[in-house]
Structure 1
Amino acid sequence: MDYNTLRHFADSWGLLGMFLFFLFVVFYAFRPGSKEVADAAKAIPFKDENNE
Protein backbone atom coordinates (compact mmCIF):
# COMPACT_ATOMS: atom_id res chain seq x y z
CA MET A 1 0.00 0.00 0.00
CA ASP A 2 1.29 3.37 -0.91
CA TYR A 3 0.39 6.83 0.37
CA ASN A 4 -2.24 7.51 -2.29
CA THR A 5 -4.12 4.29 -1.55
CA LEU A 6 -4.19 5.00 2.18
CA ARG A 7 -5.22 8.59 1.52
CA HIS A 8 -8.10 7.48 -0.71
CA PHE A 9 -9.26 4.99 1.93
CA ALA A 10 -9.13 7.61 4.69
CA ASP A 11 -10.98 10.16 2.57
CA SER A 12 -13.86 7.82 1.86
CA TRP A 13 -14.32 4.95 4.33
CA GLY A 14 -12.40 6.53 7.20
CA LEU A 15 -14.63 9.60 7.15
CA LEU A 16 -17.74 7.44 7.00
CA GLY A 17 -16.53 5.33 9.92
CA MET A 18 -15.77 8.36 12.08
CA PHE A 19 -19.17 9.88 11.26
CA LEU A 20 -20.99 6.65 12.21
CA PHE A 21 -19.01 6.46 15.45
CA PHE A 22 -19.97 10.08 16.22
CA LEU A 23 -23.65 9.32 15.61
CA PHE A 24 -23.44 6.27 17.88
CA VAL A 25 -21.90 8.32 20.70
CA VAL A 26 -24.50 11.08 20.37
CA PHE A 27 -27.42 8.65 20.35
CA TYR A 28 -25.89 6.71 23.26
CA ALA A 29 -25.53 9.88 25.33
CA PHE A 30 -29.07 11.11 24.66
CA ARG A 31 -30.91 7.80 24.86
CA PRO A 32 -33.73 7.40 27.39
CA GLY A 33 -32.37 6.33 30.75
CA SER A 34 -28.91 7.79 30.33
CA LYS A 35 -29.57 10.52 32.92
CA GLU A 36 -29.65 7.95 35.72
CA VAL A 37 -26.38 6.43 34.56
CA ALA A 38 -24.74 9.86 34.33
CA ASP A 39 -25.99 10.84 37.79
CA ALA A 40 -24.59 7.62 39.26
CA ALA A 41 -21.24 8.20 37.53
CA LYS A 42 -20.91 11.77 38.77
CA ALA A 43 -21.47 10.64 42.38
CA ILE A 44 -18.62 8.08 42.32
CA PRO A 45 -15.92 10.43 43.74
CA PHE A 46 -18.09 11.20 46.76
CA LYS A 47 -19.26 7.64 47.48
CA ASP A 48 -16.70 6.84 50.18
CA GLU A 49 -16.35 10.34 51.57
CA ASN A 50 -16.74 10.66 55.34
CA ASN A 51 -18.97 13.43 56.62
CA GLU A 52 -16.74 14.61 59.46
Structure 2
Amino acid sequence: MNETYTAFAGFAQTWGLLYFMIMFGAVLAYALWPKNRKGFEDAAQIPLRED
Protein backbone atom coordinates (compact mmCIF):
# COMPACT_ATOMS: atom_id res chain seq x y z
CA MET A 1 0.00 0.00 0.00
CA ASN A 2 2.84 2.40 0.76
CA GLU A 3 4.23 1.94 -2.76
CA THR A 4 0.85 2.78 -4.25
CA TYR A 5 0.59 5.94 -2.17
CA THR A 6 4.12 7.02 -3.09
CA ALA A 7 3.48 6.44 -6.78
CA PHE A 8 0.18 8.32 -6.67
CA ALA A 9 1.71 11.20 -4.69
CA GLY A 10 4.55 11.54 -7.19
CA PHE A 11 2.09 11.49 -10.09
CA ALA A 12 -0.15 14.09 -8.44
CA GLN A 13 2.75 16.40 -7.60
CA THR A 14 4.22 16.29 -11.09
CA TRP A 15 1.02 16.60 -13.11
CA GLY A 16 -0.65 18.88 -10.60
CA LEU A 17 2.24 21.33 -10.88
CA LEU A 18 2.08 21.18 -14.66
CA TYR A 19 -1.70 21.69 -14.59
CA PHE A 20 -1.46 24.75 -12.34
CA MET A 21 1.37 26.24 -14.41
CA ILE A 22 -0.73 25.88 -17.57
CA MET A 23 -3.76 27.40 -15.86
CA PHE A 24 -1.67 30.29 -14.51
CA GLY A 25 -0.32 30.95 -18.01
CA ALA A 26 -3.84 30.90 -19.45
CA VAL A 27 -5.15 33.35 -16.85
CA LEU A 28 -2.13 35.60 -17.32
CA ALA A 29 -2.57 35.58 -21.11
CA TYR A 30 -6.27 36.42 -20.70
CA ALA A 31 -5.52 39.28 -18.33
CA LEU A 32 -2.82 40.77 -20.55
CA TRP A 33 -4.50 40.20 -23.92
CA PRO A 34 -4.84 43.59 -25.65
CA LYS A 35 -8.45 42.90 -26.68
CA ASN A 36 -9.51 42.68 -23.00
CA ARG A 37 -7.90 45.98 -21.94
CA LYS A 38 -11.00 48.16 -22.46
CA GLY A 39 -13.21 45.89 -20.39
CA PHE A 40 -10.74 45.79 -17.51
CA GLU A 41 -10.24 49.56 -17.60
CA ASP A 42 -14.02 50.06 -17.54
CA ALA A 43 -14.40 47.64 -14.62
CA ALA A 44 -11.65 49.46 -12.71
CA GLN A 45 -13.63 52.70 -12.89
CA ILE A 46 -16.88 51.27 -11.50
CA PRO A 47 -16.13 52.20 -7.84
CA LEU A 48 -15.34 55.78 -8.87
CA ARG A 49 -18.61 56.42 -10.71
CA GLU A 50 -21.30 58.48 -9.07
CA ASP A 51 -24.66 57.32 -10.36
Q: Which one of 2, 9, 12 corresponds to residue 10 of structure 1?
A: 12
Per residue, is there more helix in 1 or in 2?
2
What TM-score results when the alignment is normalised by the length of structure 2?
A: 0.69
Q: Tell me how far apart the structure 2 counterparts of residues 4 and 37 of structure 1 sit (CA, whole Å).
A: 46
Report the Cα offset of residue 16 of structure 1. Answer: 0.9
1:23 aligns with 25
Q: Is the aligned partner of 1:38 residue 2:34?
A: no
Percent identity among equivalent residues? 33
Moved over 6 A (4+): none
What TM-score results when the alignment is normalised by the length of structure 1?
A: 0.68
Aligned residues: 49
Q: Tell me how far apart the structure 1 counterparts of residues 45 and 28 of structure 2 sit (CA, whole Å).
A: 22
